[in-house]
């Protein structure tokens, strides 16, 4: 059983968004502590979009994941030894990965539930193919319903014709995913003041569709982004219902209810230290994410375990063989 008191010791106040959170800490019936049982697998760097806030899971240079027996053996050990039960495919855009269906099938055979984060820029026929392979759900990244604004979020210059096409494709694939029976969630990143109106529009769209909605801050913008989320919550007259804390992870969520009765989440980051990784780190006082969880990505000739988005050295990045005998493994265990 997870101890909420011990988990909360790592939680620190970062902005006004947490005022309701702090006032609720003593009400343990409103706090749910969840097991950190999710593995993030970066399958590719390729993506048809170039969103200016994308963190690429900490590495712009990783290769397409090589699906071989060494990878499968490592995934099995993570499932059995660390009891990781969910695999979340990321990128880049996971549907750009040529072996996406095969990887999903392998993960399901091991015993994982499989989801992915997608921008929805793919052929609609792929949805049923991925579902048939075993995909359980898709988190769609939707940051605006305005084609012109979508263009402005891209590093590569785009015109409004492109924006309209991309947005229509995204919304069409969200509908297709819903019709297929997949679990669907919409994620929205709030960067600045201009995103407040977009976020409110997306929230209304999710409410009308009956789709789960989650707001994320831009890790690069830090407290500036969080303050913009405060403004979103004030515009909704939203109230806190409960808090989901993830044990041994920097991740937690505020479960909010808007004035019109729509329930949604705010994804948050708290200070959570993996001592054997973070001790002596020069980024320790300026870290964007702290220890979030285990990621897998492809190095030049092998798949590796990534434990930190900001560092590119050992032990932040390790081979499977190194990881399963490391101090970090035993601390996470």
Report the DSSP beta bridge partners of residue 31: 243
Q: What gap in Å lies between CA 13 and CA 108, rounded to an integer?
A: 38
Most distant CA pair in the chain: distance in Å? 53
Q: Is 213 left (phi over 0), alpha (psi -120 to 50) or beta?
A: beta
In this predicted structure, what is the pLDDT of residue 308? 95
CB-CB contact of 249 with 291 (8 Å): yes
Yes or no: say if 244 and 229 are a contact pair by the CB < 8 Å rule. no
Phi, psi of 269 (to 5 degrees): -120, 130
Q: Which domains does the chain have, with CATH numbers?
A: 4-271+283-332 (3.20.20.70)
Running DSSP on this structure, what letter comes out for residue 67? Answer: -
* Closest CA relative to residue 320, chosen from 77, 1, 43: 77
Token digits for 67? 């699906």
Report how far residue 163's alpha carbon sits from residue 50's, in angstroms, rounded to the nearest whole number: 12
Two tokens at 148?
């012109």
pLDDT reported for residue 27: 56
Question: What is the three-class DSSP state of 230?
Answer: helix
pLDDT at 218: 84
CA distance 179 to 263: 22
- Could you tell me if residue 173 is left (phi over 0), alpha (psi between -120 and 50 degrees) or otherwise beta? alpha
The CA distance from 53 to 34, in Å, is 28
What residues in the chain have per-residue pLDDT under 70? 1-28
Q: How far apart are CA 286 and CA 282, in angstroms?
A: 8
- What pLDDT is recorded for position 221? 77
DSSP code, position 154: B
Backbone angles phi, psi at 192, to 5 degrees: -150, -175
- Using CA atoms, how far apart are residues 169 and 124, in angstroms rounded to an integer? 8
């Amino acid at each position: 059983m997870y101890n909420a008191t011990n988990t909360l010791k790592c939680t620190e106040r970062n902005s006004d968004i947490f005022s309701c959170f702090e006032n609720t800490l003593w009400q343990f019936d409103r706090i749910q502590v969840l097991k950190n049982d999710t593995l993030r697998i970066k399958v590719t760097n390729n993506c048809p979009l170039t969103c200016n806030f994308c963190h690429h899971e900490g590495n712009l240079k990783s290769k397409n994941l090589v699906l071989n027996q060494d990878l499968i053996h490592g995934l099995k050990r993570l499932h059995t030894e660390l009891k990781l039960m969910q695999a979340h495919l990321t990128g880049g855009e996971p549907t750009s990965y040529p072996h996406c269906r095969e990887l999903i099938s392998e993960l399901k055979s091991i015993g994982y539930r499989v989801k992915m984060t997608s921008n929805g820029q793919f052929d609609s026929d792929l949805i049923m193919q991925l579902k048939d392979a075993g995909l359980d759900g898709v988190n769609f990244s939707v940051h605006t319903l305005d084609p012109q604004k979508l263009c402005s979020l891209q590093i590569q210059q785009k015109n409004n014709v492109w924006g309209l096409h991309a947005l229509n494709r995204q919304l069409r694939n969200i509908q297709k995913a819903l019709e297929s029976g997949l679990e669907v969630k919409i994620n929205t990143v709030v960067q600045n003041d201009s995103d407040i109106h977009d976020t409110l529009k997306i929230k209304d769209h999710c409410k009308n569709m009956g789709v789960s909605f989650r707001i994320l801050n831009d890790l690069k913008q830090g407290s500036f982004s969080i303050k913009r989320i405060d403004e979103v919550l004030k515009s909704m007259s939203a109230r806190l219902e409960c808090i989901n804390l993830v044990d041994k992870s920097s991740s937690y969520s505020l479960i909010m209810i808007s004035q019109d009765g729509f329930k949604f989440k705010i994804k948050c980051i708290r200070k959570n230290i993996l001592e054997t990784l973070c001790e002596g780190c020069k980024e320790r006082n300026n870290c964007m994410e702290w220890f979030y969880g285990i990621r897998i990505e492809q190095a030049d000739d092998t798949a590796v375990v990534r434990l930190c988005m900001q560092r590119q050295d050992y032990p932040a990045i390790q081979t499977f063989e190194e990881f399963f005998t490391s101090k970090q493994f035993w601390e996470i265990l």
